[in-house]
Amino acid sequence: MTEVNGARRSVCIGLLGGLAGMALGGAAKARPTVDDQGKVFRLDGGKVTYAFGLNPQGQLQTLYWGSALAAADKLPGAAAFRENSSNETQSVVTPFEFPGFGGGLTVEPALKVTFPDGVRDLALRYVDHQAGEDRIVVRLKDVSRAVHVTLTYAMDEATGILSRSATVENRTNSWIQVDQLAAASINLPYQDDYQLQYLTGKWSGEFTLETRAITPGSTVIESRKGVTSHQANPWIAISRAGTDEEAGPVWFGALAWSGSWRIHVDMDAAGNVRATAGYNPFDFSYRLKAGESLASPAFHSGYSDEGFGGASRVFHRYQRTRILPGAPTPRVRPVLYNSWEATYFAVDEKTQGEIAEKAAGLGVERFVMDDGWFGARNDDRAGLGDWVVNRKKFPNGLAPLIRRVNDLGMEFGLWVEPEMVNPDSDLYRAHPDWIIHFTGRPRSEARNQLVLNLARKDVYEYLLKMLDTLLKDHNIAFLKWDHNRAWSEPGWPGVAPGEQQRLYVAYVDNLYKLLGELRRRHPKVEIESCASGGGRVDLGIMRLTDQVWTSDNTDPFDRLMIQDGFTRAYTPAVMMAWVTDAPNFLNKRVTSLEYRFLSAMQGGLGIGANLNHWKPEDFQKAKQLVADYKTIRLTVQQGNLYRLVSPQKNSPRSATLSVSPDANQAVLFAFLHASSRMERQPRIQLRGLDPKKVYTLRTISGTVAPETPKQASGAYWMGNGIGLMLWGDFAAGAVAFEVQ
Ligand code: GLA
């Protein structure tokens, strides 16, 4: 199948054959329905209905996307749109589901191709469809040339998240060149007050929320970097002017792709709003020989009328139940220790062993040794690519340290950055041609490193063997998989010039294949996606990795903002944060240990401080907080998240609440950033509790207001709220509410 829980490439129409053309007037909810004439296609799931139709010209048009309609509601078929004027023709004003560049199209196409004779006109028309358990697959074809397109619409019954993707197939006798391919075009119902939200960033400043009104013209968010990027993340949310955190309509979606991508949002001359998401057409070209095909990544999109909070909660649920490894019940994140900020490249058996002893005493479950354990890797100038244990630092290999870590009751994890080399490495000296480059041109370095061309078969095989051997030879439970630079000079010498730009797709395909194969061979090994922090966080990589490194910025205050942005799109089930030293390495801010813990405890908890510098009271406090965290982590990681008070817009305070799916536990984290002019702290009203259940309060950290009852109903906590005594700068409190 195209996407949902499978490989991206093949569209398995055969499986659906028996169900083709079902007319399902009164069918069970969530089963895709197609009307008797085969002209109105409808998918229902969660609280959402999506419908599209076939117009008299044989083109697919969006009919409806929004809150669930009654099963008996009949949508009118797709009428032919009349041109506004000779300047806004039919092809401009029609909300096409998947427009080809051709037939007069001047808005954003989903597919653009070039034929060998110079023709660049593609007019796609309906051929047939098949409707299955959870999906509708529609085939289109150009009016005269054998270019076939298969569109897949898969609706998740529980959440109403619609996964869309497209495959273009060349059945002509010659090559065709795909210049642009999207997963989908999505069309919003006509309104004049749409707002667009998206996430931008930079190293140490990922997941910054941007909001702008959608007005005539386009907004392009993209990565041209070969990797998802810090600079923008492939997620958007479109809302109406009045939408807020808990009420109002939100249409949202995220592209499952870890290479260069683009989401193009535009309002055309007639005021229609559409978004087109797919491969970044910048520098893109994918030549298909006769008989070959190219699949797009999937665009997972949803709708909620419960505001931005409702949108992210339903998307989190979808990610937990349909995307993450282990879905529908992903494994809970263990508490980890990571050596990076503590010892940087100066890792060795003795120091790591000593720190491991201390970490184990805190209740840490996984000890991760970061960069510096291999080759001549004493700084970032050399050794990357030489994945042999450095015998000066580890005279007897990694085995003694791993044994010690295991004997302490912890799993062992290791940092790798397989896709990169330092020019000063044995690997590069042996294979200078293995990197992405243009023949005879300078090779730009970043952090003194170059990018291996993983699209190459030999590179793929080398990395598979190297990683497979590493995992076979050692008791490694976890890999932190890093990717510390963007691509440059994206050439692929070794294939014909006309094939070189396949790199953008072939690299990422091989990355997914490599991760998938390693997981198959080592099913117990977990992987973290890291790219200088949060540079590779997307639904493509999240299928194959158990957690993501959110940011190299470990300052607990900055992190509140980063986490607020992150959770707009992605689930806290994968969002890692570490408690590191104060002053923070990045901005020198000093915060209390409790504050650092409470900030990091809102996702998967890690500790990255140099424990050799800690005082006995730090250990005592940290041990208690780790123990407390273990009592709430399932709710925090996999519960329903309410961003009660957002840190956005320079708010002086923020608060999040996580509620377990059975509503028997809720965990509140509250932060005061700075006290000012004796300002009073508003009471915090909870959400998502069962009003009838009685919840007992358990203070994890901080002090609740003196009048707070020990026990009260969900109705009380939601109606009357709770006061926390927060004073000074960077103060925090955490409270659990539990049904006994
Ligand atoms: C990247 C990661 C860090 C650390 C270093 C090691 O910057 O984001 O967490 O692993 O690489 O070199």
Q: How far is CA 592 from the centre of its chain?
A: 31
Give the tens place of pLDDT for each residue, 679-731.
Answer: 888 999 999 999 999 999 999 999 999 999 999 999 999 999 999 999 999 99
In this predicted structure, what is the pLDDT of residue 676? 86
Euclidean distance between CA atoms 369 and 610, whole angstroms: 13
Band of pLDDT at residue 88, cut at 50, 70 and 90: confident
d(CA 214, CA 192): 8
Which residues neighbour 534 within 8 Å (Cβ) at sequence distance 6 or greater? 201, 206, 207, 230, 548, 549, 550, 551, 562, 566
Which residue's CA is the closest to the ligand 1 atom numbered 12?
Answer: 371
Q: How confident is the model at residue 677 (pLDDT cuts 50, 70, 90)?
A: confident
Mean pLDDT of the chain: 95
The count of structural domains within the chain is 2
Q: Tell me, what CATH number does 33's domain have?
A: 2.70.98.60
3-class secondary structure for 530-547?
CECCECCCCCCHHHCCCE
Which tokens is 673 given? 């950033």
**481 belongs to an annotated ligand binding site:** yes
The number of the ligand 1 atom at minimal distance from the alpha carbon of 552 is: 8
377 CA from centroid of ligand 1 (Å): 13
pLDDT for residue 13 is more than 50: no
pLDDT digits (tens, 9 = 90+) for 200-227: 999 999 999 999 999 999 999 999 999 9
Is 440's pLDDT higher than 60? Answer: yes
Burial bucket for residue 589 (CB in 10 Å: 0-12, 13-18, 19+): middle
Last residue of a domain, one of 293, 323, 353: 323
Q: How far apart are CA 245 and CA 614, in angstroms?
A: 40
Q: What is the pLDDT of residue 25?
A: 35
* Mean pLDDT calculated for residue range 186-190: 96
Q: Which atom of ligand 1 is nearest to the CA of 531?
A: 8
**Which of these is catalytic: 482, 509, 555, 581?**
482
Residue 369 lies in a domain: no
Q: How far apart are the first and last CA of the chain?
A: 45
Listed residues 283, 304, 323: the one ending a domain: 323
Answer whether residue 41 is part of any domain.
yes
Instruction: Give the contacts of 464 (CB within 8 A, at least 6 positions apart).
Output: 514, 517, 518
Cα gap 221→291, rounded to integer Å? 33
**pLDDT above 80 for 176:** yes
* pLDDT category of residue 30 using cuts at 50, 70 and 90: low
Task: Locate the ligand 1 atom nearest the alpha carbon of residue 380 and give its number.
Answer: 12
Higher model confidence: residue 89 or residue 360? 360
| Residue with CA closest to ligand 1 atom 11 | 532
Confidence of residue 18 (pLDDT cuts 50, 70, 90): very low
The closest residue, in CA terms, to atom 4 on ligand 1 is 340
In 524-609, DSSP assigns E strands to 526-529, 547-549, 575-579, 604-607
Report if residue 244 sits inside a domain: yes
Q: For tokens 């700084």, what's the residue?
A: 379
Region 467-496: mean pLDDT is 98
Ligand 1 probe mutation, 419, 481, 530, most atoms within 8 A of CB: 530
Find the residues whose C-beta lies inside 6 A of ligand 1.
340, 370-371, 415, 482, 484, 530, 532-533, 549, 552
Please tell me which residue in 509, 546, 552, 564 is annotated as part of the active site. Answer: 552
Q: What is d(CA 566, CA 560) in angstroms, rounded to the nearest whole number? A: 10
Contacts of 389 (CB under 8 A, 6+ apart): 373, 374, 397, 398
pLDDT in tens, 243-296: 999 999 999 999 999 999 999 999 998 899 999 999 999 999 999 999 999 999
What confidence score (pLDDT) does residue 29 get? 52
CA of 553 relative to ligand 1 center, distance in Å:
11
**How many whole angstroms separate alpha carbon 198 and alpha carbon 214?**
12
Q: Are 161 and 46 in contact (CB under 8 A)?
A: yes
Side chain identity, residue 360: A
| 457 marked ligand binding residue | no
Report residue 26: phi and psi, to 5°.
Answer: -105, 30
Tell me the pLDDT tens digit for each residue of 132-142. 999 999 999 99
Contact status, residue 98 vs residue 166, Cβ threshold 8 Å: yes
Beta bridge partners of 415: 480
Q: Ligand 1 center to residue 599 CA distance, Å? A: 20
pLDDT digit string, tens, across residues 304-340: 999 999 999 999 999 999 999 999 999 999 999 999 9
> How far is the C-alpha of 705 from the C-alpha of 717, rounded, in Å?
13
Q: Answer whether residue 682 is part of any domain.
A: yes
Q: Which atom of ligand 1 has the smallest separation from the CA of 530?
A: 8
What pairing do the DSSP bridges indicate for beta strands 604-607 and 575-579? parallel
Q: How far apart are CA 470 and CA 422, in angstroms?
A: 20
Q: Does the annotation mark 552 as catalytic?
A: yes
Judge whether residue 95 has pLDDT over 50: yes
**How many Cβ atoms are within 10 Å of 103's Cβ, its own excluded?**
19
**What would the two tokens of residue 716 be?**
């009380």
Whether residue 692 is annotated as binding a ligand: the answer is no
Query: Which of 370, 478, 527, when mutated, tests ligand 1's pocket best, judged by the most ligand atoms within 8 Å of its CB?
Result: 370
Mean pLDDT confidence for 161-168: 98
476 HSE (CA, 13 A, CB side): 23
For residue 603, report the distance from its CA to the centre of ligand 1, in Å: 19
**Residue 564 within any structural domain of the chain:** no
Residue 721, domain CATH: 2.60.40.1180
The reply, when asked if residue 407 is annotated as ligand binding, is: no
**Which residue has better confidence, 31 or 560?**
560
Which tens digit of pLDDT belongs to each residue from 482-515?
Answer: 999 999 999 999 999 999 999 999 999 999 999 9
DSSP at 475: -
Is 480 marked within a binding site?
yes
244 is in an annotated binding site: no
For residue 21, pLDDT over 60 is answered with: no
Count of beta carbons in the 10 Å neighbourhood of residue 36: 10
Say if residue 622's pLDDT is above 80: yes
134 is known as an active-site residue: no
Q: Which two tokens stand for residue 565?
A: 């942005």
- Amino acid (one-letter) located at 548: V
Residue 680 has a pLDDT of 86
Residue closest by Cα to atom 6 of ligand 1: 371
Give, using CA atoms, the residue closest to atom 8 of ligand 1.
Answer: 532
Domain limit, last residue, from 323, 356, 379: 323
Checking if the pLDDT of 93 tops 90, the result is no
| Cβ density class 480-505: b for 16+ within 10 Å, e for less | bbbbbbbbbebbbeeeeeeebbbbbb
CA dist., res. 405 & res. 399, Å (int): 10
Strand 366-369 to 411-416 pairing: parallel
The Å distance, Cα 223 to ligand 1 centre, comes to 21
- DSSP 8-state class, residue 646: -
Which residue did the predictor score with more confidence, 680 or 599? 599
Give the pLDDT score at 15: 31
What is the distance in A from the centroid of ligand 1 to the CA of 34?
51
pLDDT tens column, 630-656: 999 999 999 999 999 999 999 999 999
The pLDDT value given to residue 411 = 98
Structural domain boundaries enclosing 101: 7-323
Which of 496, 498, 500 lies closest to 114, judged by CA?
498
The pLDDT, as a whole number, for residue 151 is 98
* Confidence check: pLDDT of 23 > 50: no
Ramachandran assignment for 455, one of left (phi > 0), alpha (psi -120 to 50 degrees), beta (any other): alpha
Flag whether pLDDT at 31 surpasses 90.
no
Tokens coding 400: 């003694």
Residue of 186, 250, 180, 190 whose CA lies nearest to 222: 180
Distance CA 234, CA 239 (A): 17
- Residue 532: Cβ within 10 Å count: 21
Neighbours of 692 (CB within 10 A): 9
Q: Is residue 117 situated within a structural domain? A: yes
Cα 607 to ligand 1 centre (Å): 15
**Ligand 1 atom having least distance to the Cα of 532:** 8
590 located within any domain = no
What phi and psi values does residue 128 have, to the nearest 5 degrees? -160, 180
Q: Which pLDDT belongs to residue 12? A: 36
Distance CA 187, CA 601 (A): 39
Q: Name the region of 218 (left: φ>0; alpha: ψ -120 to 50; beta: rest).
A: beta
According to the annotation, is 483 in a ligand binding site?
yes
